[in-house]
């Protein structure tokens, strides 16, 4: 017999009178908060950064590819507010945890953000609250890590509190899919929690896909990203092989992609970036060791992908030597594109940062140009780069570099200008060729 707490929360979620709490107002949490408002809910957004909270409440654009109009309308209507006061976690009927899950320096899962959030929720947990973890993590985290913390506050799963997992599937800058249109996986270990989570997301997004447990949903998210990591590693390795044969891997991929079945195109690059693909596979390899299983395929893909920045630096050095007889020491190099992917300002795990470190370690002077990142913010792994400013991109400045290395393919960059004035171009993204630009001084890497 479902508890009265369950029935009350279900009714409020169904009729839209529920208050929703979103913890973490980044590229996952903020769009989810606005989708909740669109569904008719009142939403409270929680973030540890007072500066970000103030910016959001002022209606400022805090995510470059998100139009702030919808956020401003939600604020003006009194349907949305941001706060850094986590004592208020007891107010919402449902809470979605959208916090980072990075790796430690030893490539082990760092669940400190998840644990800290669960502990804060436990301090104010009240009967009837639904908690959903959205942060990507290893299968079993919801049950083995979050559930005990909430039970420690005196709650009973499925009776006084409810818990599920629904992985975020955001793709920053994607113009074809967004929070509302991407199908939402929902998993929970008891039917009451599953029903409440389905009801919440059913009003918030276009399609909900329920699965039988939180662990299945956790594993599905990892599988999605491992699929991409492994296939990117494959084309990165093919790039090395075909380059030695004098074959253009991008032309090969384009040719293979003409097959209408049995093939999906993936593209090589200077290394992996973003929060998901460089990190998530290692959550599963770590957990697999608990069961005595060595996930060799995933580990090998990780080794190939993490080796790509060094390969690119080697190709840069070789191209410099071939063109001018000089090495990297003393050379002046421009990194074109700092973000981890095109047309966003997201620096997380960007290979461009690693490239700067590696090239400067060879004695070169490195500058960068990125139309979306005027100044390098503080990052955990590359704190020494914080404060560097984007260099201008004009004929005079381009002519002053010994080499321009295209690391991120931003649409806002004038590649014809680069081709006309750069002495040497090392293109890791096929940016010139796919625009029909033929530059004799360009090499692919």
Q: Is the pTM of this model over 0.85?
A: yes
Establish if 217 belongs to a structural domain. no
159-163, 215-219, 382-386: least confident range: 382-386
What pLDDT does residue 441 have?
A: 96
Q: 254 and 203 in one domain?
A: no
Q: 370 and 424 in one domain?
A: yes
Q: Name the percent of the chain lying above pLDDT 70.
A: 100
What HEC string does the chain produce?
Answer: CCCHHHHHHHHHHHHCCCEEEEECCCCCHHHHHHHHHHCCCEEEEECCCHHHHHHHHCCCCCCCCCCCHHHHHHHHCCCEEEECCHHHHHCCCEEEECCCCCECCCCCECCHHHHHHHHHHHHHCCCCEEEEECCCCCCCHHHHHHHHHHHCCCCCECCCEEEEECCCCCCCCCCCCCCCCCCEEEECCCHHHHHHHHHHHHHHCCCEEEECCHHHHHHHHHHHHHHHHHHHHHHHHHHHHHHHCCCCHHHHHHHHCCCCCCCCCCCCCCCCCCCCCCCHHHHHHHHHHHCCCCCHHHHHHHHHHHHHHHHHHHHHHHHHHHHHCCCCCCCEEEEECCCCCCCCCCCCCCHHHHHHHHHHHCCCEEEEECCCCCECCCCCCCHHHCCCECCCCCHHHHHCCCEEEECCCCCCCCHHHHHHHCCCEEECCCCCHHHCCCCCCEEEC
Indicate whether 139 pLDDT > 80: yes
Establish if 242 belongs to a structural domain. yes
Establish if 159 belongs to a structural domain. yes
Establish if 219 belongs to a structural domain. no
Domain containing residue 208:
4-212
What pLDDT does residue 265 have?
A: 97
Q: 265 and 191 in one domain?
A: no
- Mean predicted lDDT score pLDDT of the chain: 95
- The residue annotated as part of the active site, out of 276, 331, 353, 422, is 276
Indicate whether 328 pLDDT > 90: yes
Please report which confidence band the pLDDT of residue 324 belongs to, taking 50, 70 and 90 as the band edges: confident
> Quick one: average pLDDT of 48-73?
94
> Quick one: average pLDDT of 5-19?
96
Indicate whether 1 pLDDT > 80: no
168-177, 285-294, 325-334, 365-374: least confident range: 168-177
Establish if 222 belongs to a structural domain. no
Q: 308 and 265 in one domain?
A: yes
The verdict on whether 98 is a catalytic residue reads no
The domain boundary, picked from 174, 189, 212, lies at: 212
Q: 370 and 416 in one domain?
A: yes
CATH of the domain at 53: 3.40.50.720
Q: 362 and 236 in one domain?
A: yes
Q: 259 and 395 in one domain?
A: yes
Q: 203 and 175 in one domain?
A: yes
pLDDT tens for each residue of 251-280 = 999 999 999 999 999 999 999 988 788 898
Establish if 62 belongs to a structural domain. yes
116-120, 178-182, 400-404: least confident range: 178-182
pLDDT tens for each residue of 338-355 = 999 999 998 989 999 999
Q: 111 and 201 in one domain?
A: yes
- What is the tally of structural domains in the chain? 2
> Quick one: average pLDDT of 25-30?
95
The contacts of residue 284 (CB under 8 Å, 6+ apart) are: 138, 139, 219, 222, 226, 295, 298
Please report which confidence band the pLDDT of residue 381 belongs to, taking 50, 70 and 90 as the band edges: confident
Q: 336 and 277 in one domain?
A: yes
Please report which confidence band the pLDDT of residue 2 belongs to, taking 50, 70 and 90 as the band edges: confident
What pLDDT does residue 65 have?
A: 83
What pLDDT does residue 379 have?
A: 85
What pLDDT does residue 64 have?
A: 83
> Quick one: average pLDDT of 286-311?
94
Indicate whether 173 pLDDT > 90: no
Please report which confidence band the pLDDT of residue 378 belongs to, taking 50, 70 and 90 as the band edges: confident
Q: 164 and 23 in one domain?
A: yes
> Quick one: average pLDDT of 98-112?
90
pLDDT tens for each residue of 187-244 = 999 999 999 999 999 999 999 999 999 999 999 999 999 999 999 999 999 999 999 9
Establish if 234 belongs to a structural domain. yes
Q: 273 and 205 in one domain?
A: no
């Amino acid at each position: 017999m479902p508890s009265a707490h369950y029935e009350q929360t279900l009714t409020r979620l169904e009729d839209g009178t529920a208050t929703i709490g979103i913890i973490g107002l980044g590229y996952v949490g903020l769009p989810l908060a606005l989708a909740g408002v669109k569904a008719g809910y009142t939403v409270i957004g929680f973030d540890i950064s007072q500066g970000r909270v103030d910016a959001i409440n002022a209606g400022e654009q805090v995510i470059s590819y998100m139009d702030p109009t919808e956020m401003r309308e939600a604020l003006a209507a009194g349907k949305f507010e941001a706060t850094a006061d986590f004592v208020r976690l007891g107010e919402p009927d449902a809470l979605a945890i959208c916090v980072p899950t990075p790796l430690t320096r030893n490539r082990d899962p760092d669940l400190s953000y998840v644990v800290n959030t669960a502990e804060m929720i436990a301090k104010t947990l009240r009967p009837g609250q639904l908690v959903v973890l959205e942060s990507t993590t290893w299968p079993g985290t919801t049950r083995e890590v979050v559930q005990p913390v909430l039970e420690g506050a005196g709650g009973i799963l499925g009776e006084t509190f409810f818990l599920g997992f629904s992985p975020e599937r955001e793709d920053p800058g994607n113009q074809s899919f967004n929070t509302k249109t991407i199908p939402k996986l929902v998993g929970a270990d008891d039917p009451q929690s599953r029903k409440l989570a389905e009801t919440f997301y059913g009003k918030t997004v276009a399609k909900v896909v329920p699965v039988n447990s939180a662990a299945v949903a956790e594993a599905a998210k990892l599988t999605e990203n491992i699929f991409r990591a492994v296939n990117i590693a494959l084309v990165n390795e093919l790039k090395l092989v075909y380059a030695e044969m004098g074959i253009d891997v991008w032309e090969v991929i384009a040719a293979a992609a003409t097959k209408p079945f049995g093939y999906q195109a993936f593209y090589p690059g200077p290394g992996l970036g973003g929060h998901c693909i460089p990190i998530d596979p290692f959550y599963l390899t770590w957990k697999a060791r608990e069961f005595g299983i060595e996930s060799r395929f995933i580990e090998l893909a990780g080794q190939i992908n993490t080796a790509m920045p060094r390969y690119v630096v080697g190709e840069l050095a070789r191209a410099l030597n071939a063109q001018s007889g000089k090495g990297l020491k003393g050379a002046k190099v421009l990194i074109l594109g700092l973000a981890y992917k095109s047309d966003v300002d997201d620096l997380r795990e960007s290979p461009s940062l690693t490239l700067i470190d590696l090239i400067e370690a060879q004695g070169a002077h490195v500058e960068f140009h990125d139309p979306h990142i005027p100044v390098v913010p503080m990052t955990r792994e590359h704190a020494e780069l914080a404060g560097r400013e984007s260099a201008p991109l004009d004929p005079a400045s381009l002519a002053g570099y010994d080499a321009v290395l295209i690391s991120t393919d931003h649409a806002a960059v004038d590649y014809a200008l680069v081709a006309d004035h750069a002495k040497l171009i090392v293109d890791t993204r096929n940016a010139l060729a796919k625009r029909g630009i033929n530059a004799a001084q360009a090499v692919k890497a």
